[in-house]
Structure 1
Amino acid sequence: MATPMHISRPSIFKPPETTHSHRNRYGPPTITLYKKKPLLVSFASISSEPSPSSELKKPEIELEFIGPKAGNDGSYPLDRARAVSGEKLLRNIMADNKIELYATYGKVMNCGGVGNCGTCIVEILDGNDLLNERTNAELRYLKKKPDSWRLACQTIVGNKENSGKVVVQRMPQWKK
């Protein structure tokens, strides 16, 4: 009985004369060796990305968003969200979680997140150290505002290594 072949480099494999191959309509090519013994050949791809099961958990930032106006009972509405550290802007996190960012004028006249209008102002009540430094657009629009005020479209939440909690006051200009 003949010994089976070992295929080390599939790209240069030339089947011996006693074999034939054909493409199966519903799957990978089939190579028949030694009469009536089909051998299914498949090529595995090697990915540089780790599999989800072996991937380490990325650091997360927990966010709390306090509404601009108190309700009838005197408490402020509170929304919560989570984000992977260093991957998203505050504006995008709020949009993804359907958390209101803009006042009436800002809904119509915002710049779409490029830092040209100043309508996405928020106040960071806690966790300012978990955010990026103020950008040039923020320095321009917020030069007469408190240091805790930020533009949501310019604020990156986290730095890919830190984790913690950030408390955000939405529309701080509405506070009395």
Structure 2
Amino acid sequence: MAATSSAALFSVLPLPTASPAYARAGSSHYRPTRSTAALSPIRCSAASPDLSPGAPAPAPPKPQIELEFLGPKPGADGSYPVDRAAAVSGDKLLRDVMVENKIELYAAYGKLMNCGGGGSCGTCIVEIIDGKELLSPRTDAENRYLKKKPESWRLTCQTIVGNKENSGKVVVQRLPQWKK
């Protein structure tokens, strides 16, 4: 369908003539002057939605997960730099969201020697500061690579953002191993 403005969706012909009930004296409503015999039909363009019985209702908007990515080291003022992104709940891996939004994901070694999202290198580690419940549970690959790390640490290539039903905000610390 071609995109059209809302003004172009409906084309209405002049209003029909008022019946005596509409033409009351002192009424502040519109009082047409044509006779009721000359009623004109209302025309709608093909771009208008199908509102007939049995037609499917428009799909509700998909739940969104808002993401905040904190930089690995604080700036001169003591605050961490923040990058923001959003993703449809349950549709993407955390790694894909970061790559698409050009958010730094790897340390120097990881930039050269990462597995490209296969879950076999452990270089895409992040720490979930807030919103852990909005992410998928840890996978076997994560349990293997993050065995001695805190539960809040995740591999972005194994972490699905949301579950298609939830929405909310997740705060992610990039490169948590640099926080020292």
Counterpart residue number, 1:60: 64
Post-superposition Cα deviations, 1:44-91, rounded to whole Å, max 9, x if no partner, equal xxxxxxxxx922100000000000011122211000000000000000
Q: 4+ runs of 1 displaced by more than 3 Å?
A: none
Counterpart residue number, 1:163: 167
Measured in 2, the distance between the counterparts of 1:168 and 1:85 equals: 16
- Normalising by structure 1, report the TM-score: 0.69
Task: Name the SS for the 2:69 alignment partner.
Answer: strand
Measured in 1, the distance between the counterparts of 2:130 and 2:74 equals: 19
Counterpart residue number, 1:94: 98
Counterpart residue number, 1:108: 112
For structure 1, the residue ranges without an aligned partner over 5 or more in a row are 1-52
Once the two structures are aligned, what percentage of the paired residues are identical? 76
Higher share of residues assigned strand: 1
For structure 2, the residue ranges without an aligned partner over 5 or more in a row are 1-56
Measured in 1, the distance between the counterparts of 2:73 and 2:79 equals: 9
1:131 to 129, 135, 139: 135
Number of residue pairs matched?
Answer: 124
Counterpart residue number, 1:16: none
Measured in 1, the distance between the counterparts of 2:165 and 2:76 equals: 40
- Normalising by structure 2, report the TM-score: 0.68
